[in-house]
Structure 1
Amino acid sequence: MGELNLLFRKRIGYPQDETVTFEKVDTILDKTAKSIPFENLCIIANKTAEISKENLKNKILLKYEGGLCYDLNTILFYFLIENGFNVSLVQGVVYNHIGNQWSSTGRTHVAIVITHNEYRYLIDTGFGGNLPLKPVPFSGEIVTSQNGEFRIEQTNTEQGNYILHMKLNYKDQDWKMGYAFDTRKSVDESDLNEVQKIIIEHPESSFNKKPLITRFTDRGNLILTDTSLTEWTDGKMVKKDIAPEQFKLIAKEQFGI
């Protein structure tokens, strides 16, 4: 078993001697969402590194940091490859519901397509609080998880040839678009580094302005900014204002970073 495989299992608390079958991918996604935070601290601190297998192993599995979609889904991608899965990375465009338009940063979301028994599924551990937490089939079948309902629509637009739709528990009454993604173009590390560059530099990027950390819990999720800590538990939200100097302490206590 390779080093990345062992370290990833250790990071998420998955047994080192247990075979990862497709039926276990749900468990991997759940443990990853609760163990590895979605966060942008390296961008805020101007300490980003080139996206590579070795750098991601160092950042997420050795230094116990989190990351954004291109960090989290790429390290999961490498883990799944080491466990014998047929996976590929795809780029997508997130839908901005506040502005009712596709994100002006373009195809800066990164997710994974996994093929099992000739059927394709979308998996994602880098979409903040919007994670499906289960593989979502390309067939359009609705998948239900702790976080809500999810389905994929096949469509041909400028943004991609599929759209992930979601209806989050306790938050959404109706279906809404998550992001469009394109399976027709292969994605490699040069593409990932271009995505990171846009996220760092784009004036309308939501991740280059103030710190954000979020992770799932057994009963909801936690969201930390430089001004507040928000905890969702069984659909109930408690938001506490914090002083900027409290941020690092809470990040360590609640998120392990």
Structure 2
Amino acid sequence: MEKVFDSEDFPARDALAAWAEVTRHAVMPTAFRLVDIDTFDGWFKTMPLGPAQVSAMSYSSFCTLRTPHLIRASDPECLQIALPRSGSHVLEQNRCQVPAGPGQLLVFDSSRPFQGYADGEALLIQLPRALLPLPAHRVERLMTRALPGDEGIGRLLATFLTHLAEGDTGCTPRTPHGSGPSASTWSPSSSPITWTARAMSRPTPGSGPCSCASPRSSSVTWATPRSARTASPRPTTCRSARCTGCSSGTA
């Protein structure tokens, strides 16, 4: 993986704005606000996998926001699958709010507004929705849900991402122990993401879309998701004086 950002390379007052600019190009335009801290500390690494991309990142406590305006400005039209590795993470999209702990998989959509809270480390894989060989309703079942990354096929995906983040570029979906082609030959149609989607979107008791889902666009604000207040020991309200350094990836 190539490191494309390190907060130590910037003056403290400029680090969050620099992070927003890097992630605008590497992921998508998103706005950020610090929570309970004055300066941002973090790093960002990335690695292309054909039409997809895997990223590893570490960050200070912040709120993130993607609005309809930011979506109109730029949308990669990707399905995002995050794997938190440490800290607290909460996402709200489609009027559904979900906390995800280390080792869980969190699926969300770049084409829909969202807000969230994050503090720690995570891996992220971006896959163009058009390349997923799955009907839209099956993908929809995965949205805004914390999926297990420590059992079954979810564990395969989590292990694959972890190997890539730790530098094992010989590890591919077809050959998880690195005995086959390099990661550059990775194919979306045969990837662990597709396997995970197929396995986890099968009807099971109690499964299905979040009960609070709405076909309308989310009403996204700067309020920190409620679950973050439970997940994090810090007070986290983005409207308070503790939140500083608002920075947007649209700059």
TM (norm. structure 2) is 0.24
Larger proportion of helix: 1
Relative contact order higher in (CA < 8 Å, ≥ 6 apart)? 2
